[in-house]
Amino acid sequence: MPEGPEIQRARDELAEVLEQGKVSKIFFAFDSLKPYQSKLKNSRIIEVNAKGKAMLIRFSNGYTIYSHNQLSGKWFISPDGQTPDVKRQLRLSIHMKEGAAFLYSASDISVLKEHELASHSYLSKLGLELLSANTTQKMVVQRLMTYRKSRRSLMTLLQDQSVLAGIGNYLCCEILHVSALHPEIRICDINNQQLQQLAQNSLQLIRQSYETAGITNLLLRADKLAKQGIAFEDYRFNVYRREGLSCYQCGDVIVKGKFSGRMGYCCLGCQPV
């Protein structure tokens, strides 16, 4: 599933084509949304926003398209407006003079009025937005402190979008590794220094992933491996998808397993139980 950095990068690409443009044609695959095709045609797109793992496209007539990519949804940009040659189900397309945007495979799409956004089932429950330029480490610490007495594991807490928006499975595994915390450790059992480090790493890694198109490994190390001809997917992570390989930090074998009911990766040398 795309996580906060991937959705934010998709937002950047969409904004470049859609923002301030006038819609010449719009298509919805779902019958319940087809009435909005005539309502949104010829309107102007004011803004494209990413909220957690959701995308919001705001129109000048007061409507907003909400979409969530879920497991397999993906946006494609077409500068010439031609439909991409992909083997996916088209769910939404937006055409304008500057090009077109196509959303494939996503099933969670709706059209909302401005006043409906605050009460939306997903948007209303979002926690602190880590990729917001206004979010500081102090704010992340304060957010985590509100759960200080919780007995929930870090593996489940960090992926709860109502706590910190944008962290999914790969970011959670990577954040816990660089924080030297086992996935099943409960937040009530870590000390204040560990909590501070967890907050710092959560903010730093999600932003690094956004800026580098998905690298959570140490950047100097990733650059060195890239120059050696190592494939991107093989150098981008510290532990994620590296089951059976040696930890860069301590040399122990990285393990894959279920932690608090969620599949993940960790190094038991760096992250003891």
* Strand-pair category, 164-165 with 128-129: parallel
> Which residues are within 8 A (CB) of 136 and not within 5 positions of it... i.e. 6 or more apart?
203
Q: Nearest Cα to 137, choosing from 156, 170, 164? A: 164
Q: Which of 3, 6, 129, 184 is catalytic?
A: 3
Separation of alpha carbons 238 and 15, rounded Å: 31
Query: What is each CA distance from 147 to 164, 165, 184, in whole angstroms?
Result: 12, 15, 15
In a 13 Å sphere around the CA of 139, the CA atoms on its Cβ side amount to: 14
Q: Nearest Cα to 62, choosing from 43, 90, 35? A: 43
Residue type, 11: R
Separation of alpha carbons 264 and 257, rounded Å: 6
Is 34 known to be catalytic?
no
Q: What is the CA radius of gyration of the chain?
A: 20
Long-range contacts, stretch 145-150, CB < 8 angstroms, 24+ apart: 145/195, 147/187, 148/187, 148/188, 148/195, 149/188, 150/186, 150/187, 150/188
Is 53 known to be catalytic?
yes
Q: Which of 11, 53, 58, 242 is catalytic?
A: 53
Q: Nearest Cα to 49, choosing from 202, 165, 169? A: 165
**45 SS3 class:** strand
Is 97 known to be catalytic?
no
Q: Which of 2, 11, 91, 183 is catalytic?
A: 2
> What are the structure tokens assigned to 59, written together?
């129109």
Q: Which of 39, 74, 143, 262 is catalytic?
A: 262
For the chain, report the end-to-end CA distance as a whole number of angstroms: 27
The residues annotated as belonging to the active site are: 2-3, 53, 262
